[in-house]
C-alpha cells in the first residue's frame, strides 16, 4: 500500500460524543458525528482530498452538509516505515501474474503485505499500529478497514491507507467491502443490545469517505449475533445465530436488496457469494435446490470462492487437508491434497489460473498456490497469520 500525507478526518456538521481514543497513529479528529448515533451524510477526508463526484452515489443524502469542519490534532506516535525487499512473487510461484495484497497478524503485529510479480517484483510489509482486528483490504487492495476495540466499549470501524489509521465510526460491529467496487463499504452498527442493528454504506474516493445510514434492520434485535458477511451489486448478506429454547444456536443467512430490505432467508451458515450474487450456504437441514438466491454446499464446507468467470468453485471442508474444484453443476473437476490443516480458500488470480489457499502445518502458516493449468501445487511459507487477501492485476 502506498503511503501518503498525514490523515485528516473532516466531519461536516454534528457533535462529538464522549468515547475512547482512536488508534495510536497521527490523525486529526474533526468535530463532527463519529458515533453510532450519527444521522445524515458525513464526509471523512483521509488525505486532505476534496471529496468525491456526487454521481458515484446518486442519493442526495450523501451530499456533504454545508458547514465548515473544525479539527483537533491528536498525536499517537509516528507511523512505522514499510519494509520492502526484492522478492518477486513469481519466483516461488512460476507463472503467477498480478499483485497480492494481504493483511496478516505477524510476530510484530498487524502488517499489510503487498507482493508483486515480474522482474521488479518486491514484497512490501507495512506495519499498522492500533490493536486492530479483522483487518481486510478492499477490492483493489488500496485501503484496509478494520475494527479497533478499547476495553469493553463497542469497537471503532477504522480505515488505513498504509500511513494513518483513521477512525470512521464508533459502534460498528461488522463490515464488508463491496465485492467489486473499489472503496465501497458497508457495516452494521448496534448501539444497544436491545436495539435493531443499523446498516450503513460508505464510498471512498479522492481521499475522502461519504457514509450514511441505509436501513434499520427491524426484527434482527432478538438475534444473538448478526454479522454482515457480504456486499455486492445484488445487495447485502447477513448471517445470524439465534438462541433456541434449549440454549442451542441456529444459524441462518439473509439476503438484503440494495436498499437493505430483506428478500430471502435460508437456514444454515454463510460460506461464500458467487459473482452472480448467489449465496452459498452450508450446514442446513433444507433439502432440494433453493430458487435463485441460495445454493447449498455440503454440510462440512468451510470456505468457497468462485473463479473470476464464475464457472469454477474452489471449496474446503472442515478438518480436511484438501481443496476440491467444481464446475457450476457441482461436479468435481480436480482434487488437490495440500497436506496442511485449517485450510481457507482466499482468492483466485485475476486470470483464473491460480487458487490461493491459506493453511497451517503444525503452527507454521503458509500460502498454497494451486496452479490449475499445470495441476500442481506451490506452498509458500509465511511468518504471519493471514486475515484478508485480494489479488489484483
DSSP state of 108: T
pLDDT above 80 (res 224): no
Tell me the CA end-to-end span of the chain in Å, nearest whole number.
15
CA dihedral 272, 275, 276, 278 (to 10 degrees): 0
Task: Give the residue carrying C-alpha cell 457514509.
Answer: 211
pLDDT tens-digit readout, 21-77: 333 332 333 323 333 333 344 544 433 223 333 333 334 344 333 323 323 333 334
pLDDT above 50 (res 12): no
Higher pLDDT, 242 or 205: 242
| pLDDT range class, residue 291, cuts 50, 70, 90 | low
- Supply the pLDDT for residue 131: 81
Q: For the chain, what is the mean pLDDT? A: 78
Under 8 Å CB-to-CB from 363, ≥6 apart: which residues?
none
Tell me the mean pLDDT in the region 376-393. Answer: 95
pLDDT tens-digit readout, 65-121: 332 332 333 333 455 667 788 889 999 999 999 999 999 998 878 999 999 999 999
- Supply the pLDDT for residue 218: 82
- Supply the pLDDT for residue 26: 28
DSSP state of 11: -
Under 8 Å CB-to-CB from 362, ≥6 apart: which residues?
none
Cα 139 → chain centroid: 9
Strand partners, 186: 176, 201
pLDDT tens-digit readout, 348-368: 999 999 999 999 999 999 999
> What backbone torsions phi and psi does residue 209 show, to the nearest 5 degrees?
-145, 120
Tell me the mean pLDDT in the region 211-227. Answer: 80
Tell me the mean pLDDT in the region 246-270. Answer: 89
Tell me the mean pLDDT in the region 283-297. Answer: 70
pLDDT above 70 (res 201): yes
For every residue of 106-126, DSSP letters joined together read: ETTEEEEEEEE-STT-EEEEE
pLDDT tens-digit readout, 325-353: 998 878 888 999 999 999 999 999 999 99
| pLDDT range class, residue 250, cuts 50, 70, 90 | confident
Dist CA 211 CA 240 (whole Å): 24
Strand partners, 390: 101
| pLDDT range class, residue 3, cuts 50, 70, 90 | very low
Amino acid at each position: 500500500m502506498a503511503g501518503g500525507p498525514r490523515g485528516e478526518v473532516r466531519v461536516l456538521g454534528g457533535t462529538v460524543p464522549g468515547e475512547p481514543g482512536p488508534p495510536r497513529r497521527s490523525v486529526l479528529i474533526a468535530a463532527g458525528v463519529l458515533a453510532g448515533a450519527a444521522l445524515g451524510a458525513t464526509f471523512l477526508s483521509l488525505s486532505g482530498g476534496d471529496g468525491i463526484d456526487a454521481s458515484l452515489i446518486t442519493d442526495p443524502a450523501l451530499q456533504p452538509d454545508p458547514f465548515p469542519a473544525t479539527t483537533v490534532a491528536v498525536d499517537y506516535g509516528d507511523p512505522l516505515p514499510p519494509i520492502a525487499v526484492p522478492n518477486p512473487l513469481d519466483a516461488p510461484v512460476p507463472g503467477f501474474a498480478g499483485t497480492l495484497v494481504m493483511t496478516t497478524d505477524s510476530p510484530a503485529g498487524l502488517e499489510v503485505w503487498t507482493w508483486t510479480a515480474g522482474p521488479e517484483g518486491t514484497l512490501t510489509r507495512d506495519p499498522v499500529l492500533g490493536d486492530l482486528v479483522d483487518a481486510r483490504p478492499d477490492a483493489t487492495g488500496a485501503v484496509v478497514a478494520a475494527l479497533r476495540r478499547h476495553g469493553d466499549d463497542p469497537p471503532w470501524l477504522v480505515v488505513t491507507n498504509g500511513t494513518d489509521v483513521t477512525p470512521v465510526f464508533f459502534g460498528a460491529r461488522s463490515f464488508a467491502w463491496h465485492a467489486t467496487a473499489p472503496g465501497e463499504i458497508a457495516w452494521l452498527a448496534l448501539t444497544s443490545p436491545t436495539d435493531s442493528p443499523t446498516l450503513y454504506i460508505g464510498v471512498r474516493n479522492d481521499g475522502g469517505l461519504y457514509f450514511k445510514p441505509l436501513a434499520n434492520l427491524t426484527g434482527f434485535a432478538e438475534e444473538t449475533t448478526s454479522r454482515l458477511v457480504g456486499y455486492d451489486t445484488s445487495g447485502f448478506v447477513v448471517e445470524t445465530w439465534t438462541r433456541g429454547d434449549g440454549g442451542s444456536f441456529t444459524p441462518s443467512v439473509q439476503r438484503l436488496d440494495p436498499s437493505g430490505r430483506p428478500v430471502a432467508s435460508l437456514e444454515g451458515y454463510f460460506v461464500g457469494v458467487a459473482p452472480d450474487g448467489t449465496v452459498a450456504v452450508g450446514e442446513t437441514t433444507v433439502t432440494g435446490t433453493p430458487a435463485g438466491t441460495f445454493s447449498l454446499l455440503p454440510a462440512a464446507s468451510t470456505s468457497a470462492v468462485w473463479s473470476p468467470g464464475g464457472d469454477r468453485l474452489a471449496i474446503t471442508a472442515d478438518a480436511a487437508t484438501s481443496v476440491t474444484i467444481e464446475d457450476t453443476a457441482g461436479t468435481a473437476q480436480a482434487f488437490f491434497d495440500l497436506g496442511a490443516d485449517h485450510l481457507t480458500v482466499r482468492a483466485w488470480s485475476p486470470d483464473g489460473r491460480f487458487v490461493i489457499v491459506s493453511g497451517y502445518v503444525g503452527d507454521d502458516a503458509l500460502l498454497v498456490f494451486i496452479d490449475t493449468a499445470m495441476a500442481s501445487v506451490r506452498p509458500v511459507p509465511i511468518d504471519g497469520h493471514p486475515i484478508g487477501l485480494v489479488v489484483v492485476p
